[in-house]
Amino acid sequence: MKSFSALTFIAVAATLAGANPVEKRYSPSGIDVSAYQGNVNWGAAKNNGVTFAYIKATEGVSYTNPSFSSQYQGATNAGLIRGAYHFGHPNSGPGDAQARYFVSHGGGWSNDGITLPGALDIEYNPAKGGNACYGLGASSMVQWIQAFSNQYNSLTGRYPVLYTTTDWWKTCTGNNGGFGNNNPLWLAHHSSNLGPLPAGWEDVVIWQYAEKGSNPGDQNYFNGSDDDLQQFAASG
């Protein structure tokens, strides 16, 4: 894939005192949504500057977003570049099985110029009282993610984007540096600056900078120009 420097993002609060502005001529805006957002007004989002979207398709090996089809079709009809993401549950099935479930329920990729490669959302266990790393040690977690990644690549011809936080990656993979060559990084860091990256990556492809904003869902920037975004969708 093409390498995009992480320093190319526009800092959200660059005009604030003490902020360090990061200049970039382009930073396509995007959102990610799930069943929580329900019926999204995609036309309004596009008119408000959104150019791409990730839509939750699945979790584990049993859950599908009941709004996925309508959200995905709505984004398509609005002319957005869009893709699907899977919320990983490493404690409820092997990584390769979850990749197959994801692809069979909307998470595939096609070289049509408007479909983003599928993303694996891997973060702290949201279950109340659940183990933060789903009961896996660092080595087992790395193997689980690798199994998901390899299976997704085998099924689609693309490696999945990895959505995570630097803190989770350090805590649950031991800050493993082995994924940067194949897997684009979608970093969640809700701040006015990108912050430190996990080991193995020199840049990000997407930065989720806020959990809410002027558009539905989480707020994101793509690291590059509109042409770069189209190229990433088409071939990486």
Does the CA dihedral 219-225-226-231 come out positive or negative? Answer: negative
- Rounded to a whole number of angstroms, the distance between the first and last alpha carbons of the chain is 5
Compute the distance between CA of residue 152 and CA of residue 101 in angstroms, rounded to an integer: 10
DSSP per-residue string spanning 20-34: -----S---EEEEE-
Q: Return the amino acid letter for 110.
A: S
* CA–CA gap between residue 39 and residue 216 (Å, rounded): 10
121 carries an active-site annotation: no
The two structure tokens encoding residue 55: 């839509």
Q: Is 59 helix (H, G, I), strand (E, B) or coil?
A: strand
Distance CA 180, CA 83 (A): 20
Q: Strand ranges (DSSP E) for 131-236?
A: 161-164, 185-188, 206-210, 218-222
**Catalytic residue chosen out of the listed positions 59, 96, 123, 203:** 123
Q: Which two structure tokens, joined as six digits, stand for 230? A: 């189209």
Active-site residue identified among 32, 96, 121, 203: 32
* Count of beta carbons in the 10 Å neighbourhood of residue 31: 27
Q: With beta carbons less than 8 A apart as the criterion, state whether 84 and 77 touch.
A: no
Element housing 189 (H / E): none
Is 32 in the active site? yes
Q: Which residues are catalytic?
A: 32, 123
